[in-house]
A and B are shown apart, each in its own frame.
Chain A
Amino acid sequence: MGSNFKATYNVDLVFVIDATGSMTDLLDLVKTNALNFYPDLMRVMEEKKKIIDALRIKVVAFRDYVEDREDAMLRTNFFNLPADDQIFRETVNSIEAFGGGDEPEDGLEALAFAIRSKWSDGGVRRRQIIVVWSDASTHPIGYARGAYNYPKTMAESFDELTKWWGDKKDGGYMEDNAKRLIMYTPDVPGWSDITKTWNNVIHFMSEAGRGLEEADYHQIINAIANSI
């Protein structure tokens, strides 16, 4: 047919995981899902004959700056999968549920770190996908600004965070056509504000404290695979 062209995808995934004490019952399942994500996604993509040229995954695990201080935020660089599979697994398995104090938590700061990831600029087509797992509402961004280790380069307000979610040409950090935010969280302040005002969002509104069931997980995998 006169062309060897293949429309390939470079996919970057950031998992934003609530690692506070209230997640104790859920975290193992979230971790299992996170670890299965790569093979499951690749299987679905293979069935669809879609070619992912490069897939990278990064993890941001969050708690509460005021309550948990130096344990408030775990951030990794991107893991290239499958090459970095072992270290990716070790990292995910090392996440434990503790701290956080009372609800809410600092989920928006974790999302801010995810948005400011060093996204790939290669490939014919790109996807920048952030997946959030949490069972709790979030503090307003900047709530913990007084904490000694609160990041200095954080968004000043929800409006600024919204701008960060915008396209690079509009002063944001994302590519409008590439970005997707998939949240598995309750419909509570913070997350629900995002659902109401941000674009490219799918919000699976879980009941607070309820686990992610097998069927839910497959639905999320399908939502991601179909958005690629």
Chain B
Amino acid sequence: MAVINPAQQGSSTNALPDLVICASKERIKGAGEDAFALQYSESKTNTGYIAVFDGCGGMGAQKYQKAKNQSGARLASNITADIVDRFYSAPNDGFHFDGKDAERLEQKLRSVLQTVKQEIGEHSSFVIGGDLFRELPTTASIIVSKTGNDGSVYCEYLWAGDSRGYMLNGDGICQITEDDLETEEDAYSNLQSDARLSNVVNADKAFVMHEKVIKLNSPVMLITATDGCFGYLRTPMHFQHLLLNTLMRSTNEKAWEQNLINELDKIAGDDCAIVISIYGCGSFEECKRMFMKLYGMHNTKYIKPLAADESEEAAAALWEKFKPAYYREFVQKRR
């Protein structure tokens, strides 16, 4: 899907984001299991969305001959991205901020994935069972957003699994979604624990699409990312650093996307996909200017000390310092 700059596509107001950035990387060409989707449209009362999907390779290792021998994981992420995009575009569907979006989307995903499963399923040489197996399993993280008359940004974070939705403003990054994990972990402990997922979109077992609604002040970055983007870093502080460092080293949106891909390629042991939409910054240069101070402070306070002391104790201590801000925008899940 192409990169778009909604602000340059006919919006005379600031109702749409000023910038939208997306970067993705397949570890094995043609076999990637991550996907993304995004769309902003004035015809949808300036409501748009960004989304990423991470097909679960372990759970979805089954190959489907009727689908060009692709794995369930790869099919799931791509099909789910398509379902979400059609859900957004369909005249009778779409995101309405009425407290029912997650439920409606969940029903749509379940019904379409079950149909796909019936179409591509076949008598295999063996049946696969066990709690680690799912038909067409994928995570999903979707941020639906629209601006209010006062310039604030209303966001719906919808998710299943461990792909994440964040916001980043002048006070730093903040994780809004809550990872669906079998064991209780925070963003730092799970970098070591690598806990199993407890809930993913799939075609054969129950799942929940969670929903949180939050009103944010602009300027703000909305970020959605698969675990390949943050799960191979030393600490959650390094994810904020990765975002801002690549931004500061770039001269335009394309360069930022490329820098993100290059950095993720170096660190990630997985496919990765990230989409960022930025409200209230006007231009790319202004966006850099707005986040420059935060970048410098974060570097001084966290990244340099972590580089000087590579011990786990140092990382854990600095995480405890960073954690309250990282979770500062806590809102209850609607479901």
A residues lining the B interface (CB < 8 Å): 1-7, 47-51, 124-125, 176-177, 180-181, 183, 187, 195, 198-207, 210, 213, 215-216, 219, 222-223, 225-227
Contacts and interface: CB of A to CB of B under 8 A. Distances in A.
Q: How large is the interface on B (under 10, 10 to 19, 20 to 34, 35 or more residues)?
A: 35 or more
Nearest to B57: A226
A163 to B, nearest CB: 17
A165 to B, nearest CB: 12
Contacts of A210: 125
Interface in B116-142: 125-133
Interface stretch (B79-87, B98-106, B229-237): B229-237
A199 B299 CA distance: 42
B129 A203 contact: yes
Given A3-B306, A176-B182, A51 B269 contact: yes
Contacts of A51: 269
Contacts of A48: 27-28, 269-270
Contacts of A195: 129-130
Contacts of A219: 61-63
A178 to B, nearest CB: 8
Interface string B59-83: 0011100000001010000000000
A177 B304 CA distance: 31
A183 B125 CA distance: 15
A125 B194 contact: yes
A2 B270 contact: no
Contacts of B193: 177
Contact of B192 (A4, A124, A176): A124
A225 B270 CA distance: 11
Determine chain B's interface SS by DSSP, over half rule: loop
Contact of A177 (B62, B196, B267): B196
A48 B191 CA distance: 18
Interface string B272-290: 0000000000000000000
A216 B125 CA distance: 8
A49 B27 contact: yes
A49 B132 CA distance: 23
Nearest to B181: A177
B320 interface: no
Interface stretch (B155-163, B203-211, B215-223, B238-246): B238-246
5 contacts: A47-B27, A48-B269, A51-B269, A187-B129, A202-B128
Nearest to B245: A1
A125 B232 CA distance: 11
B4 interface: no
A5 B269 contact: no
Contacts of B196: 176-177, 200
Given A3-B234, A5-B238, 18 more contacts: A2-B303, A3-B238, A5-B310, A7-B233, A48-B27, A49-B268, A124-B192, A176-B182, A176-B183, A177-B193, A180-B132, A183-B130, A187-B127, A187-B129, A201-B131, A203-B128, A203-B129, A226-B57
A226 B58 contact: yes
Best-surrounded residue of B73, B267, B269 (most CB of chain A within 10 A)? B269
Contacts of A207: 125-126
Contacts of B57: 222, 225-227
A211 B1 CA distance: 43
Given A7-B191, A206-B126, A227-B58, A50 B132 contact: no
A2 B127 contact: no
B171 interface: no
B62 to A, nearest CB: 7
Best-surrounded residue of A47, A187, A204, A225 (most CB of chain B within 10 A)? A204
Nearest to B132: A202
